[in-house]
A and B are shown apart, each in its own frame.
Chain A
Amino acid sequence: QVQLQESGPGLVKPSQTLSLTCTVSGGSISSNYNYWSWIRQPAGKGLEWIGRISTSGSTNYNPSLKSRVTISVDASKNQFSLKLSSVTAADTAFYYCARETTYRFDYYGMDVWGQGTTVTVSS
C-alpha cells in the first residue's frame, strides 16, 4: 500500500524559501498513471492546490503561486519536492503531498495523502 510522508523545516523566515520533500513508500513514483501534488491548508480554512509533477517531469502550477513555486522529482529516491520562494506570513499553513491517479480517461482524484506538516513563516 502506497504511503506518503512529508518532511522539512517547520519554521521559515519571511522572504526565504520554503522547502519540503515527500517520500513515497510501498510503491514506485515512476508510475505512468500518477501525478504527485502539493496542497496546503491554512489553519481553519480550505484546501489550496499548489502544483503537481508527473513521472516524466512535466509540471503544472496554481497560477496564483506559479512565479514562486518549483516542484521536482527524484525517482532514484522515490521522492518529490516543493520549493516556495519569497514566503510571507500568508504562506503559513499545513502542507500535504498527495498522489493523483488517472487511468485511460478516468481521473480518480487525490487518492493517497501524506499526513501533512505544519509550516510557519515567522522571524
Chain B
Amino acid sequence: EIVMTQSPATLSVSPGERATLSCRASQSISSNLVWYQQKPGQAPRVLMYGASTRATGIPARFSGSGSGTEFTLTISSLQSEDFAVYYCQQYNDWPVFGQGTKLEIK
C-alpha cells in the first residue's frame, strides 16, 4: 500500500508571503496526485490534479510540481482565504490521502 506523507504538519506564514507544502509518496506514483483545500466546516475542494494542473476556477497563485515520489504545492502570495488545511491524494491504484498540512496565519 502506498503511504502519503505531508510536511510540515502545520505551517505558519504571513499574508502576502509564499507558502510551500510538501507531499511524499512511499513509492513512485508518476504524476498521479491531486491537491485539495479544506476550510473549517466545508468539504474539500480540488486545487490541482495531475500534480500540476489547476482545477477550474483556482487562482494562478496556486501551483503544483513534482513527479515520482516528491511533490510540492506552492501558494505564491498568501491571501486571507488561503489559510486552511491542504491534503494530497494519490490515485496510482486506489485513493490514498496524506494526513494534511494546516496553513495558519503567522
- Are A109 and B34 also in contact (CB < 8 A) when A37-B95, A49-B97, A62-B94 are? yes
- Interface size of B in residues (CB-CB distance below 8 Å): 22
The closest CB in chain A to the CB of B46 belongs to A109
Q: Is B89 an interface residue, CB under 8 A from the partner?
A: yes
Q: Is B87 an interface residue, CB under 8 A from the partner?
A: yes
**In the bound complex, CA of A108 to CA of B48 (Å):** 8
**In the bound complex, CA of A37 to CA of B43 (Å):** 14
Minimum CB–CB distance from A110 to chain B (whole Å) comes to: 7
- The interface of chain A, by Cβ under 8 A from chain B, is 37, 46-49, 52, 60-63, 96, 98, 100, 106-111, 113-116
**In the bound complex, CA of A100 to CA of B97 (Å):** 14
The closest CB in chain B to the CB of A102 belongs to B91
Check A107 against B46 for contact (C-beta < 8 Å). Answer: no
Check A114 against B43 for contact (C-beta < 8 Å). Answer: yes
- Are A63 and B43 also in contact (CB < 8 A) when A49-B96, A106-B49, A109-B89 are? no
- Are A108 and B44 also in contact (CB < 8 A) when A46-B87, A47-B87 are? no
Minimum CB–CB distance from B3 to chain A (whole Å) comes to: 12
Q: List chain A residues, Cβ under 8 A from B34.
A: 107, 109-110
- The interface of chain B, by Cβ under 8 A from chain A, is 1, 32, 34, 36, 38, 43-46, 49-50, 55, 87, 89, 91, 94-100
Q: List chain B residues, Cβ under 8 A from A60.
A: 94
Interface of B is mostly: loop
The closest CB in chain B to the CB of A105 belongs to B50
The closest CB in chain B to the CB of A60 belongs to B94
Which of A48, A62, A96, A111 makes the CB contact (< 8 A) with B46? A111
Minimum CB–CB distance from A4 to chain B (whole Å) comes to: 9
Check B94 against A115 for contact (C-beta < 8 Å). Answer: no
Check A109 against B36 for contact (C-beta < 8 Å). Answer: yes
Which of A47, A63, A109 makes the CB contact (< 8 A) with B49? A109
Minimum CB–CB distance from A9 to chain B (whole Å) comes to: 20
The residue among A61, A107, A108, A109 with the most chain B CB atoms within 10 A of its own CB is A109
**In the bound complex, CA of A114 to CA of B45 (Å):** 11
**In the bound complex, CA of A120 to CA of B87 (Å):** 24
